[in-house]
């Protein structure tokens, strides 16, 4: 019973955290992209416009949710929920801080520590593609259909590379649990360099590129290319259903940044000192600081790079990323083998 209560409280906190983060994220993205374009962005709602997302969300709730004539009603209504649920579920396995001990009981700062965390994360992020594909197909009009076909093709070009990019990380840390991966990065080289997985640089590069494709962000936002296909899969959505898609997209953006931090930047690891409470809080601050740095990378890329053409995306995925990650897996395999068993001739 106590476990159940703890899990429920953690889940509620995790979801509340996600929604709060999304409010900040959308605002931050609009402000930063605006600054890169010599504009100011939203400034009117709240101090520095920080309540702009809240205002937009409230507006969308009160808007009429249209259901066009030719939609497949059940799929059409289910798709926004299918987009949101996996996005929320991914975050449940992300450790946002060091485990804390209260009254002799240890509480981990993640809702649950799955021992197959990496597989779970990959599975859930693939689930989001179903929502997009079904939303586009059930809308019953051509632009959403093009968008959903694109999302399916994009998925098969990048999912493989993304999974392969994580194989060296798993080999290196010897675990697929996210908490375990973070723990394994706690050591230091030469006493001061943090032993983060960023040393697996090719993995990191491939993962970040695949991450952009996975979250449908610029320069791989072909699925919702406003200029070509009028918003793609969400063309026929309005009101709160539209808001759900956007919520899911930004939660995914945050999740993917958090996962990058967990896999490559040591999660919540960092120098910890001071009284116990500070020792609890500092890792959380490190985690969020690192995550928002990756989020900034997302926004920076969006402000800089133009959208890739469709065939460029696919050939890049299949002809570059997958061979590179395969070659890197073999190299990493050799390196890990040498580290464990020594040189073959020694």
Partner 1 sequence: MSWFADLLGPWRGFTVTWRQMFKPKLTTRYPKEKRVKPQRFHGRHALNRYPDGMEKCIGCELCASVCPARCIYVRGEDNPPDDPVSPGERFGFVYEINMLRCIFCGMCVEACPTEAITMTHLFEMSVSDRQEGIFTKDVLLVEPDGTPNHPLPDTPLIDIKELRLGDGWLRATSPSGRAEFEGVEAWSPSARMGGLAPAEPAQEARGESQESRVKSQEARTKSQEPRTKNQEPRGDGEEGTDD
- Which H helix or E strand runs over 163? helix 142-173
CA neighbours within 13 Å on the CB side: how many for 72? 11
Rg for the chain (alpha carbons), in Å?
21
Number of residues that bind partner 1 (CB under 8 A): 12
Position among 5, 38, 103, 274 found at the interface with partner 1 (CB under 8 A): 38
The mark string for 253-292 relative to partner 1 (x by CB under 8 A, - otherwise) is ----------------------------------------
Is residue 40 a contact point for partner 1 (CB under 8 A)? yes
- The minimum distance between CB 259 and partner 1, in angstroms, equals 23
Residue 321 binds partner 1 (CB under 8 A): no
Q: Using CB under 8 A, pick the residue from 201, 300, 312, 323 that binds partner 1.
A: 300
| 115 makes contact with partner 1 (CB under 8 A) | no
Q: Which of 39, 59, 142, 319 contacts partner 1 by CB under 8 A?
A: 39
How wide is the angle at C-alpha 231 spanned by C-alphas 57 and 33, nearest 5°? 65
Distances (CA, A) of 305 to 126, 219, 308: 25, 6, 9
Which residue in the set 37, 188, 312, 315 belongs to the binding site for partner 1 (CB under 8 A)? Answer: 37
Q: 236: which DSSP letter?
A: T
Strand partners, 100: 107
- Determine, following the binding rule CB under 8 A, whether residue 36 of this chain makes contact with partner 1: yes
Residue 107: strand pairing partners: 100
Asked if 6 and 107 touch (Cβ cutoff 8 Å), the reply is: yes
Using DSSP, state whether 129 is helix, strand or coil: helix
**Does residue 187 interact with partner 1 by CB under 8 A?**
no
CB of 31 to partner 1, least distance (A): 10
- CA dist 221 and 207 (Å) reads 17
227 binds partner 1 (CB under 8 A): no
Q: Give the nearer residue to partner 1 in terms of CB position, either 37 or 276.
A: 37
Chain contacts with partner 1 (rule: CB under 8 A): 32, 35-40, 43, 300, 303-305
């Amino acid at each position: 019973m106590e476990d159940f209560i703890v899990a429920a409280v953690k889940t509620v906190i995790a979801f509340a955290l996600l929604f709060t983060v999304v409010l900040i994220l959308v605002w931050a993205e609009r402000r930063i992209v605006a600054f890169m374009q010599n504009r100011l962005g939203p400034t009117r709602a709240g101090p520095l416009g920080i309540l702009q997302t809240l205002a937009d969300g409230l507006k969308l709730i009160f808007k009429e949710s249209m259901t066009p004539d030719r939609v497949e009603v059940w799929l059409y209504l289910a798709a926004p929920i299918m987009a949101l649920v996996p996005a929320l579920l991914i975050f449940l396995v992300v450790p946002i801080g060091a485990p804390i001990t209260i009254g002799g009981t240890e509480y981990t700062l993640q809702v649950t520590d799955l021992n197959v965390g990496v597989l779970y994360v990959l599975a859930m992020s693939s689930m989001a593609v179903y929502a997009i594909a079904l939303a586009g197909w059930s809308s019953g009009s051509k632009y959403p259909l093009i968008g959903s076909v694109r999302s399916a093709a994009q998925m098969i070009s990048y999912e493989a590379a993304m999974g392969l990019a994580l194989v060296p990380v798993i080999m290196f840390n010897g675990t697929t649990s996210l908490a375990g991966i973070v723990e394994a990065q706690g050591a230091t080289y030469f006493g001061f360099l943090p032993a983060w997985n960023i040393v697996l640089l090719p993995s990191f590069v491939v993962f970040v590129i695949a991450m952009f494709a996975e979250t449908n962000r610029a320069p791989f936002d072909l699925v919702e290319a406003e200029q070509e296909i009028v918003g793609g899969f969400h063309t026929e959505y309005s009101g709160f259903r539209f808001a759900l898609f956007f919520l899911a997209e930004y939660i995914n953006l945050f999740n993917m940044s958090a996962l990058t931090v967990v896999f490559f930047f040591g999660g919540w690891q960092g120098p910890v000192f001071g009284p116990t409470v500070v020792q609890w809080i500092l890792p959380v601050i490190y985690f969020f600081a690192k995550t928002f740095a990756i989020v900034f990378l997302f926004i920076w890329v969006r402000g800089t790079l133009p959208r890739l053409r469709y065939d460029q995306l696919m050939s890049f995925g299949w002809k570059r990323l997958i061979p590179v990650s395969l070659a890197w897996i073999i190299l990493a395999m050799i390196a890990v083998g040498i580290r464990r068993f020594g040189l073959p001739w020694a």
